[in-house]
């Protein structure tokens, strides 16, 4: 009995799919990523019972196209995350950034933080744990953490807040006992964390459904594969959305470039503080 041959992705089909991904997410897929695309989309073709990639391309252009594009983004985007990843960011958040912001929140000012590519939620909950350790009564004030991601499946997992115990090792025993409840081989976040968080599906390249400014934005390891124009425009949009004196955290392999570089001052390793320079018009 011969194994069933996997669908073959032609050059033209790869270019078509890569262009859709670029248009929708700003992610540039070079030919080096062709194998990744095939590995991930073959599963999608099987789920849809489609015979080949031409049928899949046709689907993307048909009535089901808008919905299928979301599945395409979910398949292509890489969701690598961990609790307290790049731990120096959370130390800076706890010792330097949050104390003065907490004092202002206690005096009646709103406090907003955003995990802008939260994946399955580990980063967002790490922010929330750090916040509650620094500001234990945050829930009694106007304090919220927004956690967003382009992948609806990741948002569902993040909102559920349930994680395998192996993935919780960076949290530590003390934090695990305080902020999680054990459920067999998994642990679930307590309502104390959920109460200050909001989860939403959001494509960073689409219009953002809020007007208020943030005091802290985390957008780490999300723009590595963005084309230059999309990346630099996103930095500019963040600059507009961060309050003067607020902070932007990016990934250790990323750099703040383009026009937005003049709108921030270095504030630590891959951490930047918004200065008072008015932002230029967006391109």
Active site residues: 40, 149
220 is in an annotated binding site: yes
Runs of H (alpha helix) within the chain: 11-25, 34-48, 53-61, 65-76, 87-92, 98-106, 122-134, 152-160, 173-179, 191-194, 228-241
Pair 264, 273: CB distance under 8 Å = yes
The span from the CA of 183 to the CA of 181, in Å, is 7
Beta strands in the chain (DSSP E): 111-115, 143-149, 162-164, 180-183, 186-189, 197-201, 214-219, 242-250, 264-266, 271-274
98 is in an annotated binding site: no
79 is in an annotated binding site: yes
Q: Which two tokens stand for residue 85?
A: 């990843």
User: For residue 39, what are the β-bridge partners?
Assistant: none
85 is in an annotated binding site: yes
SS3 58: helix
Q: State how beta strands 180-183 and 162-164 pair.
A: unpaired
The span from the CA of 279 to the CA of 283, in Å, is 12
149 is in an annotated binding site: yes
Q: Give the distance, in angstroms, between the CA of residue 275 and the centroid of all CA atoms in the same chain.
A: 24
123 is in an annotated binding site: yes
Cα angle for residues 88, 241, 71 (degrees, 5° grid):
80
221 is in an annotated binding site: yes
Task: Report in angstroms the alpha-carbon separations of 214 from 146, 218, 237.
Answer: 10, 10, 12
The span from the CA of 95 to the CA of 53, in Å, is 52
Q: Which residues fall in the annotated binding site for S-adenosyl-L-methionine? A: 79, 81, 85, 123, 149, 203-204, 220-221
Q: Which residues fall in the annotated binding site? A: 79, 81, 85, 123, 149, 203-204, 220-221
């Amino acid at each position: 009995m011969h194994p069933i041959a996997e669908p073959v992705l032609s050059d033209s089909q790869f270019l078509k799919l890569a262009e859709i991904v670029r248009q929708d997410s700003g992610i540039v897929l070079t030919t080096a990523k062709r194998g990744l695309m095939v590995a991930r989309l073959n599963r999608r073709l099987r789920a849809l019972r489609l015979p080949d990639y031409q049928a899949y391309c046709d689907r993307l252009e048909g009535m089901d196209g808008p919905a299928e594009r979301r599945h395409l983004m979910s398949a292509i985007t890489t969701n690598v995350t961990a609790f307290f990843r790049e731990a120096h960011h959370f130390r800076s958040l706890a010792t330097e950034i949050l104390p003065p912001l907490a004092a202002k929140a206690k005096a009646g000012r709103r406090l907003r933080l955003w995990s802008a590519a939260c994946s399955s939620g580990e980063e967002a909950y790490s922010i929330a744990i750090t916040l509650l350790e620094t500001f234990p009564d945050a829930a009694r004030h106007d304090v919220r953490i927004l956690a967003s991601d382009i992948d609806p499946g990741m948002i569902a997992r993040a909102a559920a807040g349930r994680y395998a115990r192996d993935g919780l090792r960076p949290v530590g025993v003390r934090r695990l006992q305080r902020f999680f409840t054990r459920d067999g081989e998994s642990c679930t976040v307590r309502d104390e964390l959920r109460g200050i968080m909001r989860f939403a599906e959001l494509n960073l390249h689409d219009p953002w459904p809020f007007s208020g400014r943030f005091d802290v934005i985390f957008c780490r390891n999300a723009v590595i594969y963005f084309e230059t124009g999309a990346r630099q425009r996103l930095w500019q949009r963040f600059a507009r959305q961060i309050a003067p004196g607020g902070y932007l955290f990016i990934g250790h392999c990323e750099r703040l470039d383009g026009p937005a570089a003049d709108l921030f001052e270095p504030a630590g390793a891959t951490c930047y503080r918004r200065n008072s320079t008015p932002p230029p018009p967006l391109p």
